[in-house]
Structures are given as C-alpha cells and as structure tokens.
C-alpha cells in the first residue's frame, strides 16, 4: 500500500525551523498500520486524519515513533494547514481521543484552541531531582507533565541531563522553563523512552500549563509569547480566553512524499 505523507513545520519563523510533523489523510488504516507509518516517518508525531459526517469536522489521531498519544499541538496545526491548502477549509474541528480541538487558519498562521491545564506545586522525588539538577529552582506537575523552573535561560540552554534513559517515571514528559529577555518565557520539552522522543523541537501542548504559571509571574492575564529553545527553535503566541488557551504560529509545508507499508 502506498500513502501520501505531508511534512509540515509548525511554529517556525524566518529564524527558526519549528517542529516537523507528518500528516496523513486516511479512511481505512488500522492501529498497527498507523504505528508502522509513524515509526518510519520518525517525526516526534504523525497526525492521521479522516472525515466525519459533519462538514469541517475530522477525526485526528497522533502517533509518536513508539506509541499513540492523546494530544499533540504542533501536529494538529499541521493537519489544519493541510486541510486549508488542499480543501480550502479555514475553520476545522478535530475530534481527538479525549477532546475536541478547534483550529483557524489565517494566511501563514494557524491558531489552535487547547483545553486549560491546571498545575500544582510539588516536591520532586529524589530520582526526579537528580535529573532536574541543582539549577532547577521550582517544581510543578500536571496530569501528564513534570515541570521544572530553571534558575536562568543560560541554565535552561546548558541542561544536558538524560530524562530519556532514566526512570521509568509516572509521567512521560518533562518541561523545563525559564525567563528570557526577548520573550515572556522559554522552554524545552523532553520525552521518555516510552514515547520515543528525546527532545521535542516545539511543543504546543506544553503551553496551557506554562501559561498558567507565567501569566501569574509576569502579571499578564491575556497574552504571552514563548520561545522553545531546542536545536530547531520555534516561536508561539499564547493567549487566554474563557474557552481555553489559544496557541498560534506559522506552519509551512516542507515536502510531500510517498510511504510504503
């Protein structure tokens, strides 16, 4: 079987490459086939979309190279960009495993409404503290994330500990964050071996809990800008409204290729 795969880079800019995502429009693929494709693609996530009976509504599923996950921001905006370019759809509702995701496309930017995520201040276990290191000055958790607040942007950039090969831990995602002179905050995002993603280049789904934290620190309740300080780098515009957290950024098509399964 031959399938069309589209590679998009999400939250990119003139200066930063953003996060690569695969997009595959499918009607009949089973779970095993989708996982095979995602593993071959080797993007941090590949999004598989299929039509639903209602106009402008689609099923979306996300696969890392190793497993299926419930939410991925950068692959969602990539899928929205694909629908805009190929079907002239500029407003779309995606039905993911556990939530609905709403996207709007305007010129080169795509916005995504994500559900808010609460954070709680916590005390890291000895094992987590060893991974975080001495430059981590505060620690929080969400349902799916560990969040370490770093002493400085320099300490965020220089962090080289190994979350991927340590553990296993209760959660598979570690967010490190710090202040930054050019943006409201900076971050890096790390995954476990279970996810098969050592460091995610740009992470849309990390922004709701970070918005909750940094909006209080910065005393800004409506709008923040974020810089993801991965090797590729990316910029996100993050805003708050009653329905959730909006993330917005540029999304560009990089290439179209054929995948055999």
Segment (H or E) for 76? helix 73-87
What is the distance between the alpha carbons of residues 65 and 113, in angstroms, rounded to a whole number? 25
Half-sphere exposure (Cβ direction) of 121: Cα atoms closer than 13 Å:
3
Q: What is the pLDDT of residues 188-242, one digit of tens each?
A: 999 999 999 999 999 999 999 999 999 999 999 999 999 999 999 999 999 999 9
DSSP characters for 18-67?
Answer: -EEEEEEE-SS--HHHHHHHHHHH-SS-EEEEEE-SSTTEEEEEEE-SS-
Backbone angles phi, psi at 151, to 5 degrees: -60, -35
Contacts of 216 (CB under 8 A, 6+ apart): none
Q: What is the mean pLDDT of the chain?
A: 96
Tokens of 160: 């080289």
Residue 141: closest CA among 212, 53, 79: 212
pLDDT in the model for residue 165: 93
What is the distance between the alpha carbons of residues 166 and 161, in angstroms, rounded to a whole number? 9
């Amino acid at each position: 079987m031959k399938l069309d795969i589209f590679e998009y880079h999400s939250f990119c800019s003139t200066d930063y490459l953003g996060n690569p995502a695969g997009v595959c429009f499918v009607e009949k693929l089973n779970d095993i086939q989708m996982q095979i494709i995602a593993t071959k693609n080797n993007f941090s996530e590949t999004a598989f979309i299929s039509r639903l009976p209602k106009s402008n509504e689609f099923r979306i599923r996300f696969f890392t190279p190793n497993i299926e996950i419930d939410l991925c921001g950068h692959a969602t905006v990539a899928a929205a960009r694909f629908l805009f370019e190929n079907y002239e759809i500029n407003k779309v509702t995606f039905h993911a495993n556990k939530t609905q995701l709403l996207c709007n496309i305007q010129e080169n930017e795509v916005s995504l409404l994500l559900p808010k995520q609460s954070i709680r201040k916590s005390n890291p276990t000895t094992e987590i503290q060893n991974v975080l290191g001495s430059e981590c000055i505060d620690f929080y958790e969400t349902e799916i994330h560990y969040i370490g607040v770093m002493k400085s942007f320099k300490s965020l950039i220089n962090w080289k500990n190994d979350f991927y090969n340590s553990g296993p831990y209760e959660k598979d995602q570690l967010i490190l964050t710090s202040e930054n002179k050019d943006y409201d905050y900076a971050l890096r995002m790390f995954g476990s071996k279970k996810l098969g993603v050592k460091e995610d280049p740009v992470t849309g789904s990390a922004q709701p809990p970070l918005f909750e934290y940094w909006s209080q620190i910065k005393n800004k309740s409506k709008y923040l800008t974020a810089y993801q300080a991965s090797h590729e780098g990316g910029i996100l515009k993050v805003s708050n409204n009653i329905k959730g957290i909006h993330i917005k950024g540029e999304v560009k098509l990089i290439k179209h290729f054929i995948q055999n399964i």
